[in-house]
């Protein structure tokens, strides 16, 4: 299954891509959004960034036809200012950050992101990072593990789950962990179609990759790489991420640094949600940098 870019047309419309503009895809993934932007460029260029070397390899193959119009760099979008400076490109007319997981990452059992496929408890987006999900699961104190699952996963059964995890240690595979979590949660808890392990896996992934911390760092530096009237679009899939983006965007607006282009968040249509279930929780927010 190939990765399908979420809210693609809405993102392109709100970025208002200019043929001669400079654009940044700060989380390029396999290149879906980047490809659509590049097809609109004539004299312009796009800088694509990702910390996952496998994703960059896929993006490189997908975007090869665009030649010198695209520049790909490995790195964490938290360092957006340094990565942009190293590219030698002028200030950007638009920048996108898609905070979601790639379908290709989820489907690769060796990466350990999904409980649907048996694999090692890894969950690192950057394979050179020192911390894995196995480290957290097997070494954390029970209280710290419960707090992590509650805070990042918003899981109300976090204490029960942490207790079960500690009792079942060592846990080495994704399917084993999923089974431990499933057995720890009381039946008929109103989860409906949500797998009982979903929130626990999400919390571990976010902790391993420091996702909220990196988002905060990215936002603190994002405006510095944009030209006046440059636009920043962020796609989030988690309430904690969206809360940070919303708070920051409204703060910039109050300070007179940006104009809000999405006072009401943009969500997928019913048709897109049907065709691409991954898109259901997506939220798009966009601002435009004001001249100072």
> pTM for the whole thing?
0.94
Percent of the chain scored above 70 by pLDDT?
Answer: 97
Q: Is 60 exceeded by the pLDDT of residue 190? A: no
Locate 275 and state its tokens: 């065709």
**What are the structure tokens assigned to 250, written together?**
């409204």
* Cβ atoms 261, 287 nearer than 8 A: yes
Going from the N-terminus, what domains does the chain have, and what CATH number goes with each?
8-104+211-289 (3.40.50.150), 130-208 (1.10.150.170)
List pLDDT tens digits, range 85-105. 999 999 999 999 999 988 778
Residue 104: the pLDDT is: 77
The whole-number average pLDDT for the span 230-235 is: 98
Q: pLDDT band for 1, please (50, 70, 90 cuts).
A: very low
Q: To the nearest 10°, report the CA torsion of 235, 18, 13, 49.
A: -20
Single out the residue of 292, 204, 203, 288 nearest to residue 14, CA to CA: 288
Return the residue matching tokens 């949500």: 194
Task: Mention every residue, 6+ apart, whose C-beta is less than 8 A from residue 283.
Answer: 235, 236, 237, 242, 265, 266, 267
What pairs with residue 285 in β-bridges? 234
Please enumerate, as own/partner, the contacts of 42-47 that have beta carbons within 8 Å and a separation of 24 or more: 43/19, 44/18, 44/19, 44/20, 44/69, 44/93, 45/69, 45/70, 45/71, 45/89, 46/22, 46/70, 46/71, 47/22, 47/23, 47/71, 47/72, 47/73, 47/83, 47/84, 47/87, 47/89, 47/92
Comparing 38-52, 96-110, 222-236, the range with the smallest average pLDDT is 96-110
E-only strand ranges, the chain:
22-25, 45-50, 70-74, 92-98, 226-236, 258-260, 283-289
């Amino acid at each position: 299954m190939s990765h399908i870019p979420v809210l693609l047309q809405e993102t392109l419309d709100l970025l208002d891509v200019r043929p001669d503009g400079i654009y940044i895809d700060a989380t390029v993934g396999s290149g879906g959004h980047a490809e659509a932007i590049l097809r609109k460029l004539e004299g312009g260029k796009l800088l694509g960034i990702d910390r996952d070397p496998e994703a960059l390899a896929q993006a490189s193959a997908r975007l090869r036809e665009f030649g010198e119009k695209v520049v790909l760099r490995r790195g964490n979008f938290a360092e957006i200012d340094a990565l942009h400076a190293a590219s030698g490109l002028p200030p950007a007319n638009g920048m996108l950050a898609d905070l979601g997981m790639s379908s290709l990452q989820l489907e690769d059992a060796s990466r350990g992101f999904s409980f649907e496929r048996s694999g090692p408890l890894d969950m690192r987006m950057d394979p050179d990072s020192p911390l894995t999900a196995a480290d957290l699961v097997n070494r954390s104190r029970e209280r710290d593990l419960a707090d992590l699952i509650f805070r990042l996963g918003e899981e109300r059964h976090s204490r029960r789950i942490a207790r079960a995890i500690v009792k079942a240690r060592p846990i080495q595979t994704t399917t084993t962990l999923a089974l431990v979590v499933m057995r720890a949660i009381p039946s008929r808890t109103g989860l409906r179609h949500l797998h009982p392990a979903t929130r626990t896996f999400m919390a571990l992934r976010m902790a391993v990759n420091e996702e909220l911390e990196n988002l905060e760092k990215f936002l603190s530096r994002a405006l510095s790489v944009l030209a006046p009237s440059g636009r920043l679009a962020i796609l989030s899939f988690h309430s904690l991420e969206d809360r940070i983006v919303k708070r920051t965007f409204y703060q910039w607006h109050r300070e007179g640094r940006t104009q809000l282009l999405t006072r009401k968040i943009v969500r997928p249509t019913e048709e897109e949600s049907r065709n691409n279930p991954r898109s259901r929780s997506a939220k798009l927010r966009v601002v435009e940098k004001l001249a100072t």
